[in-house]
Structure 1
Amino acid sequence: MDNLKSIKGDVPLPEYSPFEMEGHANGETEAIAPTGDGGRIELSTHSKLFKTLSRVVDRFPTKGPSDEPPPYEKWDGRQFNLKLNIVIQVVGSRGDVQPFVALGVELLRHGHRVRLATHDTFCDFVQDSGLEFYPIGGDPAELMAYMVKNPGLLPSMRSLRAGEIQKKRKMVAEMLNGCWDSCIMPDPVTMRPFVAEAIIANPPSFAHITCAQVLGIPLHLMFTMPWTSTKSFPHPLIKMNLANSSISVGHANRVSYLAVEWLTWQGIGDVVNSWRKTLDLEPVPTSEGPMLAETLGIPFTYCWSPSLIPKPSDWPSHIGVCGFFFRDPPSYEPPPEIKSFIEHGPPPIYIGFGSIVIDDPAKLTTILLRAVREAGVRAIISRGWSNLGDAAGLCGNDVLYIGDCPHEWLFQHVAAVVHHGGAGTTACGLLNGRPTTVIPFFGDQPFWGAMVANAGAGPQPIPLDILTYENLAAAIRFCLTQEALSAAETLSCKMRSESGIRNAVDQFHASLTVGELECDIIKDRAAAWIYRKGKTHLKLSKLAAEILIENMRIHPSQLERYIPRPIVIDPVRWDPVTATTSSLASTLKGMVVSTSDIFIKPVQAYQRPAGNLGHMRHLSESELSTYSSFDKHRSWPMGDTNSIARTRLREFSTGNLGVAIIGSASGVSGFLKCFFKGMYVDMPLATTEGLRSLPKLYGGEVREINKITDWKSGAAVAGKNFVDGFKDGFTDLVQEPIKGGREDGTLGAIKGIGKGSANMLAKASSGVLGLVAYPGHGICKSINAAVHHKTARSINHARLIEGQYLVKGEQTTCRDFDEVLVRDMFDRLQ
């Protein structure tokens, strides 16, 4: 495709191919360097960082195409009848939020209760769509301004000097707390209780895996930007330098995803782990933070058209591409000035940059107006968040400035569109068959500009730092050619045959196991509790449990919190040497941090304002009274009926002196904990796991073990690993020489003897050492769960409160269930 020939400007446009990354003749070997190409980070294959990440990627084998179709391709929506409490967590601009509003509306049609948790400024937008809204904090305008100044992953010196990095980290901390609150706190307006039973999130919300882990519920990620490693194309934020390198393009592409995850985790990993501590969770190991979603196999749906970007062949079956999300066209009557401008003259072009906040809007306005005049077209310019405006002497009757206007309506009446390349705006333009010019600022915008250009529906993207009125005018002229119009119309026809939102809902439903989630009595409700009495084991929903409690058939103390989808995050160990060394380093680090806390925490206590309620911003007296309205003054096993609120409030009423003493003492206890746990549990466990995994390094097979969640599972894993270790070790000792002899004769047999002996030593040693390490690990988890139970109590209490609401509230009463169902519930308990 040679559409650059149609664009003549005084600055050459950057090349960008998503399928083959370019090298540079100068052979620079810097690890990472910002480029002018839409803020992408340049990563050299000769750098130490690339070589280190490359070794890590090599240990995760690529997936080939599977003979089995993905579960969502054979999904029958009639199989799914659960009605879930779903929280959708989204961080970003309006363009990021809007697709999830459309998704939420579709989920409502399936009978789910849907809460969209995002920035406060989008409250009206979300609620006007009929969805519940929960504010998570964070200022998207400030976030957009920061991203324009720092379009890549590395902050500029200007941002460092201005202290913007620390501001962003504080914003992330605020949003993490907000995301957790969105999972268990009542609706801020109606005070209707809510406890999430499934989470849908975009990756930049960062809280999703932790929230799902605490609640033990399903998580499904959705995004408009490639975030899963693949050989097919690089991460949109990375530009590889392949100069004088023998590295394959596919391998470099995979490394680019780990590089982005690694850089991101370096910036916010400590913030996430500090927040996890408040939820009674252990920190995510540094080795596991990057690529955690891939390691855990979290279901992922990408919200773009497969006609534009097909699903890569090396993505596993739990990852899908569904199509763009389009909301139902809003009812809209254009103001007279817009209607008149469109009707009196040839179709104009559209120019707008949505939520982008630009440093110098006057300069950009001048470029836009000169380009419009140079191209000889009429234009509608959206002022957007940057408030683009007139430039003296350049604005005539051929330009109209507008405020907010639905793209679904407007793009039907324009000849072409010029915008920042947000996924939603790009999709809307292509759906309407409009040729597109992208002026990317950051993030996935250069990627979408390149995709449009590769499809022939527009020119190559023009990053802001090389934008001139000449090359923009040339780009506009190309958009008005028959070639670009035909390509855009072809894409439009294909996209209109897709049902992105319905496909996404099917993929979400297909990732859930109905039998794992459903209540044993009320089949369309999600189970929240386990009831055990003798041989009777029942999964009960919040509603079913409360009906039984009200009729005095069970007591709350007989209920145990049900965890349908447990998440266990343990470090992946590759060999005994690096495993033991890494564990030792982690132990020493913890001891150093705990030692510093002995002196730092008292100082922080005196600097902290008294009565700081921090994350209590949504926990008001009105909430206390709402909780009290459902209080039946029962003797709760989880504590006082207002435990969430009053316990938290009491924590912040302690005087600064007491907090200082407690903080210093916690530093001492932390030091002792790190020492004893590290030396007597973590290091033996790391060595055991390293020995168990050692045969993988030379192509051997290793049995997978179950996750350890408590002392019982620890003991079970220890016993099985001991038996399997000796059994497999002796088997390898005999079979490896035979196998080697068949393949390579005498030399192969000799190699087989060495391989079998190494396997025997590694597996048997792992089995013996595991008899101590695995039970010790399980005991630590049981102790941690027993000691750190505040969050678990909060969840239990919130579930009970919602159950009371479902029975007593206006939405559901016991009368909704016929006598046969209630009698069946009672009979099941006999």
Structure 2
Amino acid sequence: MKILLLTAGTRGDVEPFLALARAGKERGHQIQIAIPDNSGADIANLDTVSLRMDFAQLIGDQGVSPRAAAKSFRTVMRPAMGRMLLAAVEHVVAFSPNVVVYHPKVFSAPIAAETLGVPAVIVETVPLTPTREFAAPFTSMASLGPLNRATYGVAKAGPLMFRKELKTALKMLPAGRKSRAGTRFSMVPVSPHLLPRPSDWPETTHLTGHWAARPTAADMDDELKDFMDAGDFVYAGFGSMKAGDARERGETVIEAARRNGLNILVAGGWGGMDVRHESGADVLARDSVPHHLVLPRAAAAIHHGGAGTVHAVARAGIPSVVVPFIADQPFWGNLLHRQGLAPKPMPYRRLTKDRLTAALAESAGCRDRAAQVGERLRKEDGTAVALDVLENLAGS
């Protein structure tokens, strides 16, 4: 079977698709994956093509500020989205797959797939299927009761905002092809141990479990190994989040760790924290570290609440301290809190040394629950479930 995967966003959006691509390749499927430029993810031994959009550059230029994004909407975002939507259509046509699997941002992909008569499956990196049980993750942290289902209409905003770019991209489709338009299917790569399946989701929505790459025998340098052997430590990393004063945030994280008697391993990512001015045997700073090697040995993880990091920390069996910045991150932070895996999330604008110190101390009470959930997550194989779904769909 030929499977085309298309993903958009930062590294956290790309890596689950890469995990699915590798699992599909091992099953003998022909896999091509379209990804953003400069994602920072490991794409070795995979057939990758470019979506001609660089999210790393976008974040580097304007951070994660909605105000900055609004100012650059016409001059930066429209052209960038236009290139991506067009590239997606071109890849669907050129690869001629049996099934198309796509990230919600790549909303030209399902139309292209259906025009060519092949099924399209949206990957709900955050739940998008309406439910009465909770509001759409991008809209409200609190349940709105009977109004919860209505909040999911926000998902339609993307195609409306970029309708001109979408129309231009779809002109690349061959004329005269019969459309397969009909029921669309979705996969939600989230662990049911973190998010139990809502009772009112339709059969077309598949909760697969998280898509995680199989652990590899990555090398650990002596400095990192010695640091982890030197005493209890907390991991801190905010991924691609770039907002506010990165230096002050770094000072806050280090001070909170010290007040709790912990060493601190900082992953600077794309600029979320700056600790270059700090020194001491209790601090080690890296751009990134191998999560599967580091997190199981940490006392806790301070992070932004991206879906990928949420699952990596939960799988490691350690508590989280979530400092959300944007979008769905408050949703994940509150989900972990309700599951007893983290204190209440603390928005980055409210981050202080005292608050983070208290949250980190509180996280110690979550360790037993985190260890139990981590054991369950490590038994999941979300990519296997997802491939079963795709094989059944393509064969139907």
Instruction: Identify the residue that residue 147 of structure 2 maps to in structure 1.
Output: 252
Q: Could you tell me which amino acid in structure 2 is paired with residue 202 of structure 1?
A: H
Instruction: Identify the residue that residue 204 of structure 2 maps to in structure 1.
Output: 318
The alpha carbon displacement at 1:124 in A equals 7.1
**Does structure 1 residue 149 correspond to structure 2 residue 50?**
no
Matched ranges for 1:249-288 at <5 A: 249-258=144-153, 260-279=154-173
Q: Out of 27, 31, 37, which is 1:110 matched to? A: 27
**Does structure 1 residue 355 correspond to structure 2 residue 240?**
yes
Query: Deviations along 1:453-509, whole A, 9 cap, x unmatched?
Result: 00111111111111111111111111223xx00110121122233221111111222
2:321 partner SS? strand
**Does structure 1 residue 85 correspond to structure 2 residue 6?**
no
147 and 201 in structure 1: CA distance in 2 versus 1, 3 angstrom threshold: farther
Instruction: Identify the residue that residue 124 of structure 2 maps to in structure 1.
Output: 223
Instruction: Identify the residue that residue 333 of structure 1 maps to in structure 2.
Output: 219
Q: Name the count of aligned residue pairs.
A: 391
296 and 165 in structure 1: CA distance in 2 versus 1, 3 angstrom threshold: farther
Instruction: Identify the residue that residue 107 of structure 2 maps to in structure 1.
Output: 206
Query: Deviations along 1:389-437, whole A, 9 cap, x unmatched?
Result: 3364x54221110133210111122111111111111111111111001
* Alpha-carbon distance between aligned partners in 2 of 1:336 and 1:139, rounded to the nearest angstrom: 34
Instruction: Identify the residue that residue 378 of structure 1 maps to in structure 2.
Output: 263
* Alpha-carbon distance between aligned partners in 1 of 2:352 and 2:41, rounded to the nearest angstrom: 37
Instruction: Identify the residue that residue 301 of structure 2 maps to in structure 1.
Output: 417
* Alpha-carbon distance between aligned partners in 2 of 1:256 and 1:389, rounded to the nearest angstrom: 37
Instruction: Identify the residue that residue 467 of structure 1 maps to in structure 2.
Output: 351
Instruction: Identify the residue that residue 508 of structure 1 maps to in structure 2.
Output: 390
Q: Out of 195, 211, 214, which is 1:309 matched to? A: 195
Instruction: Identify the residue that residue 441 of structure 1 maps to in structure 2.
Output: 325
Instruction: Identify the residue that residue 168 of structure 1 maps to in structure 2.
Output: 77
The alpha carbon displacement at 1:195 in A equals 2.7
Conserved in 1, the CA contact under 8 Å of 2:23 and 2:383?
Answer: yes
Query: Deviations along 1:210-235, whole A, 9 cap, x unmatched?
Result: 22123211111223201111111100
The alpha carbon displacement at 1:360 in A equals 2.9
Matched ranges for 1:722-737 at <5 A: none
Instruction: Identify the residue that residue 119 of structure 1 maps to in structure 2.
Output: 36
* Alpha-carbon distance between aligned partners in 2 of 1:138 and 1:381, rounded to the nearest angstrom: 28
Unaligned stretches of 5+ residues in structure 2: none
Instruction: Identify the residue that residue 4 of structure 1 maps to in structure 2.
Output: none
Task: Identify the structure with the greater helix proportion.
Answer: 1
* Alpha-carbon distance between aligned partners in 2 of 1:341 and 1:315, rounded to the nearest angstrom: 46
Instruction: Identify the residue that residue 10 of structure 1 maps to in structure 2.
Output: none
* Alpha-carbon distance between aligned partners in 2 of 1:490 and 1:281, rounded to the nearest angstrom: 55
* Alpha-carbon distance between aligned partners in 1 of 2:319 and 2:332, rounded to the nearest angstrom: 13
Q: Out of 118, 135, 158, which is 2:50 matched to? A: 135
384 and 241 in structure 1: CA distance in 2 versus 1, 3 angstrom threshold: closer
2:301 partner SS? strand
CA RMSD of aligned residues (A): 2.3
Matched ranges for 1:345-744 at <5 A: 346-386=231-271, 388-390=273-275, 392=277, 395-481=279-365, 484-514=366-396
Q: Could you tell me which amino acid in structure 1 is paired with residue 256 of structure 2?
A: A
252 and 387 in structure 1: CA distance in 2 versus 1, 3 angstrom threshold: closer
Query: Deviations along 1:349-387, whole A, 9 cap, x unmatched?
Result: 100012223353222222222222333311100121117
The alpha carbon displacement at 1:163 in A equals 2.9
* Alpha-carbon distance between aligned partners in 2 of 1:253 and 1:321, rounded to the nearest angstrom: 19
Query: Deviations along 1:142-172, whole A, 9 cap, x unmatched?
Result: 444557201xxxxx3x544x43443111111
Matched ranges for 1:4-153 at <5 A: 84-122=1-39, 125-126=42-43, 128=44, 130-144=45-59, 146=62, 148-150=64-66
* Alpha-carbon distance between aligned partners in 1 of 2:244 and 2:65, rounded to the nearest angstrom: 8
Q: Could you tell me which amino acid in structure 2 is paired with residue 102 of structure 1?
A: A
* Alpha-carbon distance between aligned partners in 1 of 2:379 and 2:142, rounded to the nearest angstrom: 39
Conserved in 2, the CA contact under 8 Å of 1:311 and 1:320?
Answer: no
* Alpha-carbon distance between aligned partners in 1 of 2:386 and 2:369, rounded to the nearest angstrom: 26
Conserved in 2, the CA contact under 8 Å of 1:318 and 1:511?
Answer: no
* Alpha-carbon distance between aligned partners in 2 of 1:303 and 1:390, rounded to the nearest angstrom: 33
Instruction: Identify the residue that residue 238 of structure 1 maps to in structure 2.
Output: 139
Conserved in 2, the CA contact under 8 Å of 1:366 and 1:391?
Answer: no
Conserved in 1, the CA contact under 8 Å of 2:10 and 2:55?
Answer: yes
Conserved in 1, the CA contact under 8 Å of 2:189 and 2:207?
Answer: yes
* Alpha-carbon distance between aligned partners in 2 of 1:387 and 1:250, rounded to the nearest angstrom: 35
Conserved in 1, the CA contact under 8 Å of 2:268 and 2:285?
Answer: yes
* Alpha-carbon distance between aligned partners in 2 of 1:495 and 1:163, rounded to the nearest angstrom: 40
164 and 364 in structure 1: CA distance in 2 versus 1, 3 angstrom threshold: farther
Query: Deviations along 1:171-214, whole A, 9 cap, x unmatched?
Result: 110001111222244xxxxxxxx432221111112222122123
1:457 partner SS? coil
Q: Could you tell me which amino acid in structure 2 is paired with residue 228 of structure 1?
A: T
What's the TM-score, normalizing by structure 2? 0.92
* Alpha-carbon distance between aligned partners in 2 of 1:512 and 1:115, rounded to the nearest angstrom: 16
Q: Could you tell me which amino acid in structure 1 is paired with residue 322 of structure 2?
A: V
Q: Could you tell me which amino acid in structure 2 is paired with residue 107 of structure 1?
A: G
Conserved in 1, the CA contact under 8 Å of 2:237 and 2:304?
Answer: yes
281 and 230 in structure 1: CA distance in 2 versus 1, 3 angstrom threshold: farther
Instruction: Identify the residue that residue 86 of structure 2 maps to in structure 1.
Output: 177
The alpha carbon displacement at 1:240 in A equals 8.2
Q: Could you tell me which amino acid in structure 1 is paired with residue 167 of structure 2?
A: N
* Alpha-carbon distance between aligned partners in 2 of 1:332 and 1:508, rounded to the nearest angstrom: 30
* Alpha-carbon distance between aligned partners in 1 of 2:41 and 2:306, rounded to the nearest angstrom: 22
